[in-house]
Structure 1
């Protein structure tokens, strides 16, 4: 089953979804706004199937793929929620030490799309670990609305501490080569920027996809190489970039930024109509090449 073409959906619908997905609008208001488009000829089923995730579309690497092995691992997080858990995926036919990459989800927990990203990394030869921020509440609940509400109810500082603990767990793993990368999406992109800034020697390389920067007072700590991935039509995130770039230059951080023409917020996520296949492939190829160069 294919998604409706994103070019058939008005930009205002994507803007409403972005506001809804980031807590600025409740579901009832979001659906009411979509109803105004139905009144002028759009199909509600087409709108919702394009905007809301269909995770059956997001499996590029099967969990049964013979080239990978996936398990769940727990880690200690004394400054966070005490314990954390994540999806741990390794190449089946390689032995350590190997480069390791932390995979950081959006603002709704460890959904199937992010688990697939971890499998894609393992398929490419990396050890990947995707923590679930919702683990203290029982884990990703199986739908994004509930997951988003759960994550919003949690202490943000403790969530950040959990990701620091996950990063240290992965970096020090017995099969790690000691070089840690991190890739994240939206909220996860922010966490990549935060991990690069909170401790200078934690990350070797980070790839934040459409994520906002860490607090200004932390940025002088950044030493990791960064590849910043942004969509041209993502006004909310992009407005933070000029100030962030100025600080990266000021502190002589090795970075590159790619702005993807016509791409929306969430363009890498292949479970919704915001997915941009060409830009997603290009950005992912760049991500794999970047990690190969910086972490090997």
Structure 2
């Protein structure tokens, strides 16, 4: 069963990250599982569930939350989800970057977790220019694949600039991203220079090692032991950062899958690894964007 599960996750990852069509996914899963019905059960267990309960209640009285637009430059705005402690005066800011499904309820939940960690959090919708994140996650992935990546990076840097000038803030801004968002963390770190205070990437494919010299922000990188696709770029990236004298800490969580932090995916989520990575993440962010 373990081998079947691992192979099923590999097939699903190929679908989500290589933009295969659903018919191919269903055919390969049915071959693996023995029937279309069994394939659908496998897919449901691996895919993120929109119906999964939030860890932090959106109405949590400790927080102030809202969703709306914000300006990132002349004539340029984005939609985002905001979460902050009731008293966020003097708090550092953190941008939460979504996976390739866009700004989902799960990512809004992660933003609330960041806020409970003591930060002013915003989770931008990087599909804002394309009408916003659709409810259909496959449609969202298609839109992510068509996004202008240079424009996405520019929007992220614009958000950082906005966060650093936030009234009652402390002038510091970090970022945290997952999967597609983890990849974006690395690329923003390359492009933003000293404008970025700190970055945390969860299982994000990395840039070319030659780009490491451009990074100025401290980085915390989380990798999944079974995630060979991302490890192929993550290892060389980490070594290049170290060789360039950059402030980088990388952890590999053995025996877990890509997206192990996503508690809405029954088969991928690993509670122990997620809790440890989160503890390290919040401590890292406090060490670099407090005061």
TM-score, normalising length from structure 1?
Answer: 0.91
1:26 and 2:21 correspond:
yes
Q: Distance in 2 between matches of 1:150 and 1:170?
A: 26
One of 73, 77, 80 as aligned partner of 1:83: 77
Q: Which residue of 1 aligns with 2:288?
A: 294
Aligned CA distance change for structure 1 residues 295 and 77 (closer, same or farther; 3 Å): closer
Q: Which residue of 2 aligns with 1:39?
A: 34
Unmatched segments (≥5 aa) in structure 2: none
Q: What whole-Å deviation, never above 9, does each CA across 1:152-181 have from its counterpart, x for those lacking one? A: 222221122111111211122113211211
Unmatched segments (≥5 aa) in structure 1: 1-5
One of 172, 196, 205 as aligned partner of 1:212: 205
Task: List aligned pairs for 1:46-85, cutoff 5 A.
Answer: 46-77=41-72, 82-85=76-79
1:199 and 2:186 correspond:
no
Q: Distance in 1 between matches of 2:218 and 2:107?
A: 22
One of 205, 220, 238 as aligned partner of 1:245: 238
> Contact (CA 8 Å) 1:193, 1:208: kept in 2 or not?
yes
Offset of residue 198 of structure 1: 0.8
Task: List aligned pairs for 1:98-137, cutoff 5 A.
Answer: 98-137=91-130
Offset of residue 246 of structure 1: 2.5
Offset of residue 72 of structure 1: 2.4
One of 159, 162, 175 as aligned partner of 1:169: 162
Aligned CA distance change for structure 1 residues 215 and 175 (closer, same or farther; 3 Å): farther
**What SS does structure 2 have at the residue aligned with 1:170?**
helix
CA RMSD of aligned residues (A): 2.1
Query: 274-283 or 24-33: which moved more?
Result: 24-33
Aligned CA distance change for structure 1 residues 41 and 78 (closer, same or farther; 3 Å): closer
One of 248, 252, 257 as aligned partner of 2:250: 257
> Contact (CA 8 Å) 1:91, 1:123: kept in 2 or not?
yes
Task: List aligned pairs for 1:278-293, cutoff 5 A.
Answer: 278-293=272-287
**What SS does structure 2 have at the residue aligned with 1:44?**
helix
Q: Distance in 2 between matches of 1:7 and 1:41?
A: 20
Q: Distance in 2 between matches of 1:50 and 1:203?
A: 37
**What SS does structure 2 have at the residue aligned with 1:275?**
coil
Q: Distance in 1 between matches of 2:89 and 2:4?
A: 47
Task: Work out the number of aligned pairs and report it.
Answer: 289
**What SS does structure 1 have at the residue aligned with 2:121?**
strand
Q: Distance in 2 between matches of 1:153 and 1:238?
A: 25
> Contact (CA 8 Å) 1:91, 1:126: kept in 2 or not?
yes
Q: Distance in 2 between matches of 1:194 and 1:267?
A: 22
Q: Distance in 1 between matches of 2:43 and 2:219?
A: 35
Q: What whole-Å deviation, never above 9, does each CA across 1:110-141 have from its counterpart, x for those lacking one? A: 01111110000111211001000111122111
Aligned CA distance change for structure 1 residues 186 and 99 (closer, same or farther; 3 Å): same
TM-score, normalising length from structure 2?
Answer: 0.93
